[in-house]
A and B are shown apart, each in its own frame.
Chain A
Amino acid sequence: MTGSSAGEATLAAGEERWQRLPPWLRPRTVELKGGGNLRLIETTLLVLVGVVLATATVNDVGREVGINRRLIADLKTWRQYTGHDYHNISIDQEALGAGSDREVLCGNTSPGPPKGRTQICLAIWGAVVSGRRTVHGGWYLPPGIEDVTARRYGCFGPAGRGRCPG
């Protein structure tokens, strides 16, 4: 329906000023019946957007589950390597490159509050085999210190090369 008569019929009082506009541009107080095509296009777009959002959400859940499984393997590796079954182990996912699958895990070398004792940091990457990954080296940190290059000492292994000061 595109006739001007229908458009005029729905104009509220005092809206005569809009009559100068072409019918397709005039404001309306209620929508024209027969706008099914527009509604169909909108609904199709909404469904497409919904499919993209749902796919992205499911993909992201899968991605996060993969990351978590990797971190679980890293924690198991740290505990087996150090022989300590500690729970307060910090994980840095960006120290060896943001977006990579290489992680640095730091934890105490003896029982104590989180970061309260000398800490050992392990650089871990590679495939998960039997629930663990490979330790490629690491370094030590004094008690109460965050992992910054200036405070590292005792670097070991290929991953520790060049990561201690001096």
Chain B
Amino acid sequence: MSVAVQSERGLVDVRSQRWAPALATLCGLLLVAAAAEIVLDGAAGASPLIPKSPEIAGWLQGIGERLGYRVFLIALFVSSGAYAGLVALARRASIDRLRAGAISKRWAIVLIAALHVIVFAGPILLSTDVFSYIAYARMGVEHGLNPYLHGPLAIAGDPVSAYVGHDWERVATAYGPLYTLLSYPLAPLGVVGALWGMKLEALLASAGTLALVWRCARVRGFDPVAAILVVGANPLYVIYGLGGAHNDLIMMLAMMAAVSLTVAATPSARREAGAAAWVVAGALIKATVAVLLPFMIVSKRRLAPILGTLAAVALGALVGYAAFGIHGIDVVAALNRDAAFVSTDSFATEIAHLFGKPGVFPIDHDLLKAGLVLILVHLLWRTWRGYDWVAASGWALLAISVTSTWLLAWYILWPLPLAVVTRDRRLLAATLAVQALFVVHQITPLLAPVQ
């Protein structure tokens, strides 16, 4: 390398060192401003993007205007752009070790905390799911009904039933018995109290997940600041995941607790059994995370994770059966039922349209399942031959969301915490690319608004 090229590169580095903090600040401010815009406008009242809800953010009314698709999408695109900039800066900072000047630990934590507080203070965003959670809890606690046998329509007179999404009124819960039991203490608080309880659960789960991401990144030799920024400032994570108080955040907390136990410098049988038990606990919240187990077991090739799995499954099945009967532990039936759903945002639907078909047919479900099985077998083989089981689990979760005919924004968050603590950078790139395509797919109302 010539002296001229070296000095030119040095000059560029000095310039980027100078500009990096300013750019990072700008990206952070844009993220905060976009989140605040969505929350304040969402609090203003009736909007197609805010589910019908008891008034929990009335104190924010009068600042924003009714949230329409146009403003929401502009805010989503602005925050996505700012996030991309921030991720690039964080990655560069961690590679060049410029972080002290560009993105400090304190700055990153303050930014993520600000985003979380803004969304926590506002109304429920973009999904009625949280009202289904509350309805299932109230069915069990207030009405003595089994939420694994009845849909929320069974408590039509209950105050929460007015807020449950129309499509879910007749659908019994698909969530695990551990999640249902966790939600039961919130039922007697009334709809508003339970809503705040659910929001608090999601907030704490997110904080816990980010703390574990930090720990795993540090132990595995990655920059923890970049890792928590990639997860905690992600617009889909903040606006869709936290904004909707989705229980996926609690599932992700259990997932990261499991990973955290296995990345310890000195592996022990107890930790590995505990990690497997955490995965089972996560699956008893939302079944998807169970996909981590085979990778963990194949990677460790010891008895401890198998014993941990069996003990946790036995305990979970016992508690689930005692609380809800056989339907409470029939995870397969719930998964089969949900696998038949089709959403317009799923890649399966988009590909069907690409080939001139009106939608997804039963044969497509079978093809997608076969494709998913092939991917999982390949990943298991790779793990058997020494590939990082955490990365393999991340790929498996990404494959599940991409091949699902029922794709929602918070499903493509699942692999994100795993992607930032693995050495295979393709996983993070693929996860963010899938998220970017999801965001692009939302653009239609901006290009051709129907009024």
Contacts and interface: CB of A to CB of B under 8 A. Distances in A.
Interface of A: 10, 12, 14-15, 18, 27-32, 42-43, 46, 50, 52-61, 63-65, 68-69, 71-72, 75, 87, 98-99
A56 B347 contact: yes
Nearest to B443: A61
26 contacts: A12-B301, A15-B301, A27-B385, A30-B386, A31-B386, A43-B426, A46-B430, A53-B351, A54-B437, A55-B354, A57-B347, A61-B440, A61-B441, A61-B443, A61-B444, A61-B447, A64-B444, A68-B445, A68-B447, A68-B448, A69-B448, A71-B450, A72-B450, A75-B450, A75-B451, A99-B358
Nearest to B387: A31
Contacts of A63: 353
B396 to A, nearest CB: 14
B11 interface: no
Nearest to A58: B440
Contact of A27 (B349, B384, B443, B451): B384
B353 A59 contact: yes
A72 to B, nearest CB: 6
A106 B283 CA distance: 46
B437 A98 contact: no
Nearest to A18: B301
B206 to A, nearest CB: 28
Ranked 5 nearest A-B pairs via Cβ = A28-B386, A68-B448, A31-B386, A56-B350, A99-B358
Contacts of B450: 68, 71-72, 75
Given A15-B301, A50-B433, A68-B444, A28 B385 contact: yes
B430 A50 contact: yes
Contacts of A98: 358
Given A60-B441, A75-B451, 20 more contacts: A15-B301, A18-B301, A27-B301, A27-B384, A28-B384, A30-B386, A53-B347, A54-B437, A55-B354, A56-B353, A57-B350, A57-B440, A60-B349, A60-B353, A64-B444, A68-B447, A69-B448, A72-B448, A75-B450, A99-B358
Interface string B413-451: 000000000000010001001100100110111011111
Contacts of A27: 298, 301, 384-386
A59 B386 contact: no
Interface string B337-359: 00000000001011101100010
Contacts of A99: 358
Tell me which of A18, A42, A43 has the highest count of chain B C-beta atoms within 10 A of its own C-beta: A42
A59 B350 CA distance: 8
Given A61-B444, A68-B449, A53 B385 contact: no
Contacts of B444: 61, 64-65, 68
Contacts of B350: 53, 56-57, 59-60
Contacts of B387: 31
A33 to B, nearest CB: 10
Contacts of B386: 10, 27-32
Interface in B107-142: none
Nearest to B355: A56
Contacts of A59: 350, 353-354
B402 interface: yes
Contacts of B384: 27-28
B411 to A, nearest CB: 15
Contacts of A69: 448
Interface string B362-384: 00000000000000000000101
A10 B301 CA distance: 14
Contacts of B445: 68
A53 B347 CA distance: 7
Contacts of A50: 430, 433
Contacts of B426: 42-43, 46
A57 B441 contact: yes
A87 B50 CA distance: 20
A39 to B, nearest CB: 9
A57 B447 contact: no
A61 to B, nearest CB: 6
Contacts of B430: 46, 50
